[in-house]
Chain A
Amino acid sequence: MAAYINGIGLISPQHTTDPALFLPDVMEYTADFLQVINPNYKEYIHPLAARRMSKLIKMGITSAKIAMADAGCQMPDAIITGTGLGSVEDTEKILTSMNAGEQLMNPTPFIQSTYNTISSQIAITLQCHNYNTTYVHRSFSFESALQDALLQCEEKVIKTALVGGIDEMTDNHLLITRRAGHWKMQPVNNLKLLSYQTPGALAGEGSAFFLLRDRHSPGDYGVLRDVKTFFRPKNLRITEQEISTFLSVNNLTVSQLDAVILGYNGDILFDTVYDQLGSGIFSNQQQIWYKHLCGEYYTSTGFAVWLAANILKHQYIPAAVKFNNQPVNPLRQILLYNQYRNTNHSLILISR
């Protein structure tokens, strides 16, 4: 069962909030992590309400509203979000006050630190009483949300779903997770990400929401055909098998893919998986990468789905995301393959 991508709202380190524009320019940064370009949140959220909200919640509500407006949808039949880390900023506020030995806490950060705050705040904003849930599984978070929406379309219980992936990064969280080896130890230039050849990724953040419909309608970007996650493949052979099984379930072979989006994040310890597939089963395909534009975060595949959807709609691959140069065909089938630290792998198939 497929779903049609009918509206998109993306807040990212690039200029992406206007659905009418497709990467008009590319932002170059030299930074420890890529931060989103904040839109004027007051245009989307009442300033009184926004004052209490963390950036994560503001990003989530705003990008959800952009996606709904883009699709001309007033009320989705389901709100499904994915977030790997939830409200990092609010959680840190609480931990910092606990560290200082304070006992009487302001309850607001605690309330907002709950992972489903974004999906429920969107529900409150829209007055939407329909199905509402939140997935919080590292780089399966957004994929689980998409899978849930596809399943509901198949069950014929919904006609529309608002699906989003949201994660934020803070200075403290970067400092902490750097100790565990996730990130590069120095600031890097995002457009030269692969030239450093060092361990650790370039961190990022963002919020991507999609309005999916169970049938074709005007303004569709493309079709979300299928989503698959797999966990800890023993070796590259298993990964290749997962990819070919996924394609054959969808009546496709690798040679029928017009482009493959790969999750290169600059970490030489794990980018080798993409190198091997890129020079192996995908060697004749147009390869695309994207994390130099948005950074690595658990729900970064939201950015990649935005990218794939716009490539299909505009029939154009921006030079900044081309990893190689293959002859240009009509762009019909795009496969997104992502993995984080060779543990959480995902496949997303999007068609014209």
Chain B
Amino acid sequence: MAKQVVITGIGILSSIGKNLPETIESLLASRSGIGTLKHLNSPHQDEFPFAEVPYSNQDLLDIARLTDPSNYSRNTLLGMIAAGEAFQHARLDRLPRLKTGLISATTVGGMDRCELYFNDFLTNNSKNQYIDVYDCADSTERIANILNIRDYLTTISTACSSAANAILLGARMIRRGRLDRVVAGGTEALTSFHVNGFSALKILDKMPCRPFDANRNGITLGEGAAYLILESEEAAREGDREIFAELAGYGNACEAYHQTASTPDGKGALLAMERALNVSGLDPSAIDYINAHGTGTDNNDIAEGLAIERLFGEKIPFVSSTKPFTGHMTSAAGSAEAILSILCLTHRMILPNLNLKTPMPELHFTPVTELRKNTDVSLVMSNSFGFGGNNTSLIFRKSTD
């Protein structure tokens, strides 16, 4: 019998707040983090809005209470702060050690340092301390070091579904008894590398992103980090702690269609949602709210919207994309949106799909546009889809504790 997986801690740092309380405050005020780029030096600064974390790397060092200037990438700093918050939120620092793992997701890794010093790397020895910071594993290993996690660590990169896949793996390892606790999530800093890349793909909106709007015109890139503490139910009972939600289901599917586009009818999205429901043993009608991937690109929102219609038929749950709050946090989006979904359970609310003015004529449903308070929410689904057609869907259940 597979073990039940519950969530006992949350840590999040994004454009809408440097910790969980600030994040909740922004959500309740429907306050978006999208604005002008201040800390990343990019030629696209005036062309597109961004959801940048409003702190310099020095500020982040201070927030993380790190005194050594060392050679941290922005990615590592964001990750250390959010993972540290989740760890303390679950009070794991005060409990005896059970088998604990760290599964972290990123794609840009230490690219922010690498793109600054690439010329030095090629021509001189002045920036050698940043060479080993470049890869994806560096942030994971440094987070493992500060949290003293030794039993298992790995890093996942499946583009924009990365952090959802980290949660998925963590849940599977707990269910089979491989680990008792997992710190799972993702971290992604804005870099010129991927700002330029997304710009070259011509999928960045010049206005703040407008998911599911008829006039949507692309993504607004964001940054940040978000981690959840997953535990087996037995492990979670230790130490008189709060259980925030249960991870009831998960599913991953590959579209096998195109490296950067979804099938027009959202086949991969449908498969991922169906598989998550299958693992949970739930009927589609049980889902109260879908936190959609909803990037604001023409392609994603029609594919995801049609897949939702096919799966849920006449009884479509509340739907919204929260990317107009946080921007698209790419490899950290999966865990950030999992957290926002869980907050809907704990705070009895449905988050609005900001910036939606004109509903899409192709869809029969309209996402929620205003914050709905005092709404009972028992089951939420969180979708994350990435390049390579990598689609993951997670289902969280309100804790009965």
Q: Which A residues form the contact surface with B (CB < 8 A)?
A: 79, 84-86, 94-96, 98-99, 103-107, 110-117, 119-121, 123-124, 126-138, 140, 144, 148, 151, 154-155, 172, 175-177, 179-180, 229-232, 343
- Distance between Cα atoms of A326 and B293 in the complex (Å): 58
Cβ proximity bits B40-51 to A, threshold 8 Å, 1 near / 0 not: 000100000000
Q: Does B284 contact A (CB under 8 A)?
A: no
Taking a contact as CB atoms under 8 Å apart, the answer to whether B135 and A136 are in contact is yes
Taking a contact as CB atoms under 8 Å apart, the answer to whether A230 and B150 are in contact is yes
Q: Does B205 contact A (CB under 8 A)?
A: no
Q: Which 8 interchain pairs have the tightest Cβ spacing?
A: A120-B388, A110-B197, A132-B254, A115-B157, A180-B131, A137-B155, A136-B136, A107-B200
Taking a contact as CB atoms under 8 Å apart, the answer to whether A137 and B254 are in contact is no
A306 CB to closest chain B CB (Å) equals 22
- From the candidates A128, A133, A134, A230, name the one contacting B256 in the complex (CB within 8 A): A128
Q: Does B252 contact A (CB under 8 A)?
A: yes
Given A95-B115, A148-B169, A176-B121: A135 and B156 within 8 A (CB)? yes
A107 CB to closest chain B CB (Å) equals 4
Taking a contact as CB atoms under 8 Å apart, the answer to whether A105 and B267 are in contact is no
Given A132-B158, A133-B165: A103 and B196 within 8 A (CB)? yes
A117 CB to closest chain B CB (Å) equals 6
A46 CB to closest chain B CB (Å) equals 15
Q: Does B70 contact A (CB under 8 A)?
A: no
Chain B residues lying within 8 Å of A154, measured Cβ to Cβ, are 176
- Distance between Cα atoms of A104 and B140 in the complex (Å): 32
Q: Does B248 contact A (CB under 8 A)?
A: no
B2 CB to closest chain A CB (Å) equals 8
The closest CB in chain A to the CB of B267 belongs to A129
Q: Does B241 contact A (CB under 8 A)?
A: no
Q: Does B128 contact A (CB under 8 A)?
A: yes
Taking a contact as CB atoms under 8 Å apart, the answer to whether A103 and B43 are in contact is yes
Q: Does B387 contact A (CB under 8 A)?
A: yes
Given A115-B136, A133-B390, A155-B176: A124 and B157 within 8 A (CB)? no
Chain A residues lying within 8 Å of B253, measured Cβ to Cβ, are 129-132
Given A107-B200, A129-B267, A179-B121: A116 and B387 within 8 A (CB)? yes
Given A110-B197, A151-B172: A179 and B257 within 8 A (CB)? no
Q: Does B259 contact A (CB under 8 A)?
A: yes
- Distance between Cα atoms of A34 and B84 in the complex (Å): 41
Q: Does B173 contact A (CB under 8 A)?
A: yes
Chain B residues lying within 8 Å of A95, measured Cβ to Cβ, are 114-115, 118, 193
Taking a contact as CB atoms under 8 Å apart, the answer to whether A121 and B259 are in contact is yes
Taking a contact as CB atoms under 8 Å apart, the answer to whether B193 and A98 are in contact is yes
A65 CB to closest chain B CB (Å) equals 15
The closest CB in chain A to the CB of B153 belongs to A231
Given A98-B193, A114-B388, A154-B176: A180 and B165 within 8 A (CB)? no
Q: Please provide the chain B residues from 242 to 297 with a CB less than 8 Å away from any CB of chain A in the complex.
A: 252-260, 267-268, 271
Chain A residues lying within 8 Å of B88, measured Cβ to Cβ, are none
Taking a contact as CB atoms under 8 Å apart, the answer to whether A120 and B389 are in contact is yes
Taking a contact as CB atoms under 8 Å apart, the answer to whether A135 and B390 are in contact is no
A156 CB to closest chain B CB (Å) equals 11
26 residue pairs A–B, Cβ–Cβ below 8 Å: A94-B193, A95-B193, A98-B118, A99-B119, A105-B197, A105-B199, A110-B197, A114-B107, A115-B136, A120-B254, A123-B256, A129-B256, A132-B254, A133-B390, A135-B157, A137-B140, A140-B137, A140-B155, A151-B173, A151-B178, A172-B122, A177-B131, A179-B121, A180-B128, A180-B131, A180-B132
- Distance between Cα atoms of A130 and B386 in the complex (Å): 15
B307 CB to closest chain A CB (Å) equals 13
Q: Does B225 contact A (CB under 8 A)?
A: no
- Distance between Cα atoms of A128 and B121 in the complex (Å): 40
5 more CB-based (< 8 A) A-B contacts, given A94-B193, A133-B158, A179-B128: A95-B114, A116-B390, A130-B253, A134-B158, A140-B154
- Distance between Cα atoms of A113 and B194 in the complex (Å): 10
Taking a contact as CB atoms under 8 Å apart, the answer to whether A176 and B150 are in contact is no
Given A123-B254, A130-B254, A136-B156: A94 and B387 within 8 A (CB)? no
Q: Please provide the chain B residues from 63 to 93 with a CB less than 8 Å away from any CB of chain A in the complex.
A: none
Q: Does B144 contact A (CB under 8 A)?
A: yes
Given A133-B165, A133-B252, A151-B173: A107 and B197 within 8 A (CB)? yes
Given A95-B118, A111-B387: A151 and B176 within 8 A (CB)? yes
- Distance between Cα atoms of A116 and B178 in the complex (Å): 25
- Distance between Cα atoms of A97 and B273 in the complex (Å): 40
Taking a contact as CB atoms under 8 Å apart, the answer to whether B256 and A127 are in contact is yes
Taking a contact as CB atoms under 8 Å apart, the answer to whether A106 and B150 are in contact is no
Chain A residues lying within 8 Å of B252, measured Cβ to Cβ, are 131-133
- Distance between Cα atoms of A132 and B201 in the complex (Å): 24
- Distance between Cα atoms of A115 and B186 in the complex (Å): 15
The closest CB in chain B to the CB of A139 belongs to B137
Q: Does B400 contact A (CB under 8 A)?
A: no
The closest CB in chain A to the CB of B178 belongs to A151
- Distance between Cα atoms of A133 and B119 in the complex (Å): 33
Q: Does B374 contact A (CB under 8 A)?
A: no
Chain A residues lying within 8 Å of B344, measured Cβ to Cβ, are none
B93 CB to closest chain A CB (Å) equals 19
Q: Does B346 contact A (CB under 8 A)?
A: no
- Distance between Cα atoms of A48 and B142 in the complex (Å): 42
B207 CB to closest chain A CB (Å) equals 21
Chain B residues lying within 8 Å of A103, measured Cβ to Cβ, are 43, 196
Taking a contact as CB atoms under 8 Å apart, the answer to whether A120 and B387 are in contact is yes
Q: Does B141 contact A (CB under 8 A)?
A: yes
Q: Please provide the chain B residues from 152 to 172 with a CB less than 8 Å away from any CB of chain A in the complex.
A: 152-159, 165, 169, 172
The closest CB in chain B to the CB of A124 belongs to B256
Given A129-B255, A133-B252, A137-B136: A232 and B150 within 8 A (CB)? yes
Cβ proximity bits B112-130 to A, threshold 8 Å, 1 near / 0 not: 0011001101100100100
Taking a contact as CB atoms under 8 Å apart, the answer to whether A116 and B158 are in contact is yes
Q: Does B366 contact A (CB under 8 A)?
A: no
Chain B residues lying within 8 Å of A94, measured Cβ to Cβ, are 193, 196-197
Q: Does B26 contact A (CB under 8 A)?
A: no
- From the candidates A105, A127, A133, A172, name the one contacting B196 in the complex (CB within 8 A): A105
- Distance between Cα atoms of A113 and B121 in the complex (Å): 19
- Distance between Cα atoms of A230 and B125 in the complex (Å): 32
Taking a contact as CB atoms under 8 Å apart, the answer to whether A98 and B150 are in contact is no
